[in-house]
């Protein structure tokens, strides 16, 4: 009888352990897995163009260490990009918002504090937009939901409040910190005319992003590509003219 009880207890503990592992893996996958090509209907994720032109976009900044490094590289390479900033970071580093705008880049809206559920969606968008406007004198036109997650109801609400939901078509996967070479390969092997490239200048340490950025730009230029902000890209899009 004692052996039977111990056996049942062991089975129960094994089941409980596997259940916990399953929950952890499911939760981790939900929050960390970002699709390489996001094609949510009603969003802007690529330009319909035959021209060799792409848009570099950077999420989760501004960051006091990595954003200046990214800006330095872009200035050196004479490339303009779009920065999707978080309001809580933007209000701390308004000098970086001013520099982003002064350097000729576009500023997009990434919400206030990277809330995946976006419970206070409109409030977060407006709050971040006000921070950008106070620092630069310009409002944000594009909104990128955290993780690229957006429902059709949220999409309608965002459009109603005057923002275009901008996602991406090429994911560098730098958010995984996979190494400099993998980041470069993720971009260079998947890029095509009209691509919107997802990268990050904040959120976590982005040393790998910084090291990969220059070579990515150089290789794309060697292939005949030029770079644009999202608004410049959309201006060339045959479907938005």
Which residue numbers are catalytic? 59, 200
Phi and psi, residue 239, nearest 5°: -85, -10
How does DSSP assign 152-212, residue by residue?
A: HHHHHHHHHTT-EEB--SEE--GGG---HHHHHHHHHTT--TTBEEEEESSSS--HHHHHH
Q: Which two tokens stand for residue 137?
A: 């004198």
Residue 171: beta bridge partners? 198
- Name, in order, each residue with C-beta under 8 angstroms of 20's C-beta and a sequence gap of 6 or more: none
**N residues, the chain:** 241
């Amino acid at each position: 009888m004692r052996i039977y009880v111990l056996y049942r207890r062991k089975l129960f503990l094994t089941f409980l352990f596997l259940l916990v592992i399953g929950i952890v893996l499911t939760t981790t996958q939900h929050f960390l897995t970002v699709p390489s090509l996001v094609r949510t209907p009603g969003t802007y994720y690529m330009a319909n163009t035959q021209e060799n032109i792409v848009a570099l976009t950077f999420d989760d900044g501004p960051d006091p260490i990595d954003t200046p490094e990214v800006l330095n590289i872009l200035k050196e390479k004479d490339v303009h990009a779009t920065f999707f900033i978080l309001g809580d970071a933007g209000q701390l580093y308004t000098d970086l918002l001013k520099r982003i705008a002064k350097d000729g880049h576009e500023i997009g809206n990434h919400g206030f504090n990277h809330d995946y559920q976006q419970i206070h969606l409109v409030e977060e968008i407006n709050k971040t937009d006000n921070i950008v406007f106070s620092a630069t004198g310009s409002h944000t036109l594009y909104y990128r939901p955290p993780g690229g997650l957006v429902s059709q109801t949220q999409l309608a609400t965002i459009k109603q409040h005057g923002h275009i939901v901008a996602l991406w078509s090429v994911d560098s996967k730098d958010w995984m910190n996979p190494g400099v070479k993998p980041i470069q390969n993720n971009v260079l092997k998947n890029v095509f005319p009209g691509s919107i490239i997802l990268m990050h200048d904040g959120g976590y340490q982005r040393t790998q992003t910084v090291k990969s950025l220059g070579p990515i730009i150089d290789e794309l230029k060697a292939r005949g590509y030029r770079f644009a902000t999202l608004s410049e890209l959309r201006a060339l899009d045959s479907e938005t003219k």
